[in-house]
Amino acid sequence: MVEPDLILITHDHFDHVDEELASLVEGTDAIIVAQPEVVGKLGETGIPEDNFIFGMGMNIGGTVEEKGVEVRMVQAFHSAECGAPAGYLITTGDGTTIYHAGDTGAFPGMKMLGEMYDIDVALLPIGSVFVMDPQQAAWALTALEPEMAVPMHYGTFPILVQDAGEFVRLADEQAPGVDVQALQPGESLKL
């Protein structure tokens, strides 16, 4: 298994983080980025303090440089058991900026992110029910103005949107300049 360097927690819902995280980071120097409330909860599963950013977590608005990448925690519009849902902007050593929206509905702050940051790749949920639907995600492209978009959070539960077809179609209509890459499970994307 690949040893993790950085683990960015968007929120504490069971389909995003659970007690298996402890075994994933055991014996590694992986850094977990999460909010203090979530760090408190995960700490109870036996994860040592050293594996958390600053030992205690960080919050929305914060930027840290870890393992050669810059990580910004930003707003997301969703719910959580503790802490507040978040998204991340990740800037790699070569200046590529990736926006991971987390679980979120569309929100006006996406326009702000699009204005403040030069986003290369946007990872956007499109599955509806718990997150943006394809129409909202297509709007998000017009707000964020990324070069490339990767749809996520669909097809995993029967009640979610089952494929990326409608998002691909709406994105092509509303944000034709964006290169949409709908990946298959297990497929990877080299930037």
Instruction: For the CB of residue 16, give the shortest distance to Zn ion in the complex, in Å.
Output: 6
> Minimum CB separation from Zn ion for residue 80, in Å?
7
Return the range that interacts with Zn ion (CB under 5 A); candidates 13-21, 30-38, 133-141, 181-189.
Answer: 13-21
Give the DSSP H/E element, type plus range, for residue 146. none
Query: CB of 13: closest distance to Zn ion in angstroms?
Result: 3
Residue placing its CB nearer to Zn ion in the complex, 13 or 41? 13
- Closest approach of Cβ 12 to Zn ion, in Å? 8
In whole angstroms, what is the distance from residue 176 CA to residue 172 CA?
Answer: 4
Binding status of residue 13 toward Zn ion by CB under 5 A: yes
CB of 33 to Zn ion, least distance (A): 17
Compare residues 132 and 175 and give the one whose CB is closer to Zn ion.
132
Long-range contacts of 112-119, Cβ-Cβ distance < 8 Å, separation of 24 or more: 113/74, 113/89, 113/143, 113/144, 114/143, 114/144, 114/145, 117/89, 119/89, 119/144, 119/145, 119/146, 119/147
Residue 36 three-state SS: helix
Looking at beta carbons only, is 11 or 145 nearer to Zn ion? Answer: 11
Shortest CB 55 distance to Zn ion, Å: 26
Segment contacting Zn ion by CB under 5 A, of 12-20, 65-73, 121-129, 176-184: 12-20
Q: For Zn ion, how many residues bind (rule: CB under 5 A)?
A: 2
Tokens of 18: 């659970």
| 8 Å CB contact between 161 and 128 | yes
How is residue 72 written in tokens? 């910004």
Ranges within 46-105 binding Zn ion (CB under 5 A): 103
Structure letter (DSSP) for residue 52: B
**For Zn ion, the closer CB: 71 or 80:** 80
End-to-end CA, the chain: 22
Q: Would you tell me how many other CB atoms lie within 10 Å of the CB of residue 190? A: 3
Query: Which residue, 33 or 101, is less far from Zn ion as judged by CB?
Result: 101
Per CB under 5 A, residues contacting Zn ion are: 13, 103
